[in-house]
Amino acid sequence: MSLTGKLTAVALSGLRNQMRLTAHCVSAQRRIFTFPNSQTIDYISSCYNSSILSKEIRGSLVGSVRGYCTSRNQISQHCIKLRGLPYTATKEDVIKFLDGVKVRGGDNGILFINNRFGRPVGIAFVQVESEEDMDKASKLHKQYLGSRYIEVFTATSDQFAAEKNNFVKREIKEGYLVCLKGLPYSATVEEINVWLSEAAIPSEVDIVTNYSGKPSGKANAYFTTQEEAQTVVEKMNKKYLGSRYVDVIMGTTTK
């Protein structure tokens, strides 16, 4: 089922189960029918953050978005990775740099990578239409964009899917963010929850995956108050979980 179909089903289910939805929410579901793909994530994030929506519908939206972003039908098998981009680079700049290369989905086929503070790191993944476009892009290796030369590498659809999924997780969460690094790869969400509860109980924990969809040793934990998040950083940083000590630092506040 397409993203539009999934979101429409979510909205209709919400109407059945929550008769008190306001005109704003009704308007939101109608806009989904014609909303451009390149703006879908931003729009859904704004809907998710609206206090009008019930917890059940918000959860359904998260599931729909994650399923859309990781769907093999939506992600091209032909991807490239750009490294060394100016931090101020826009999607339009990337498209101009890739002159002659067909970017699949326009703006929606470009994904910038940010650090834990939400700042660009000069890396982007780009979906292209064909093997021929990948060859054209490879010829741009170490060509300049502004004052910086750009390295062009072959990437995979798995890499794009993993980064897109992690991006969506960061965008739609609420609370005060704490970043964990150095976790055992075998650590589960339940184990992390128990470990963190020594200082404070998180409202949610997300394990960050690598390009193969496997645990990367990193996780994001969200707390209801800033005091709880700060307490976790102070008490749990460098403490051991299993045989590994974990770096625990404050992330960008998302509340």
DSSP letters for 185-254: TT--HHHHHHHHTTT---SEEEEEE-TTSSEEEEEEEEESSHHHHHHHHHHHTT-EETTEE-EEEE----
More confident residue, 86 or 38: 86
Contact 152, 80 (CB under 8 A): yes
| Residues 7-44: tens digit of each pLDDT | 555 555 554 444 444 444 444 444 433 344 444 545 55
pLDDT of residue 156: 86
- C-alpha to C-alpha distances, 91 to 46, 94, 165, nearest whole angstrom: 21, 5, 19
Helix (H) or strand (E) holding 151: strand 148-155
Q: Rounded distance, CA 111 to CA 125, Å?
A: 5
Q: Which amino acid is at 143?
A: Q
- Express the helix, strand and coil content of the chain in percent, nearest 5 each: 40, 25, 35
Q: How does pLDDT run across 99-109, given as a tens digit for each residue?
A: 999 999 887 89
- Please give the Cα distance from 138 to 130 (Å, whole number): 13
Distance of CA 245 to the CA centre of its chain: 26
> Are 184 and 242 within 8 A, CB to CB?
yes
DSSP class of residue 103 equals B
CA dihedral for 111, 113, 114, 120, sign (positive or negative) = negative
The string of pLDDT tens digits covering residues 132-188 is 999 999 999 999 999 999 999 999 888 887 777 666 655 556 678 999 999 999 999
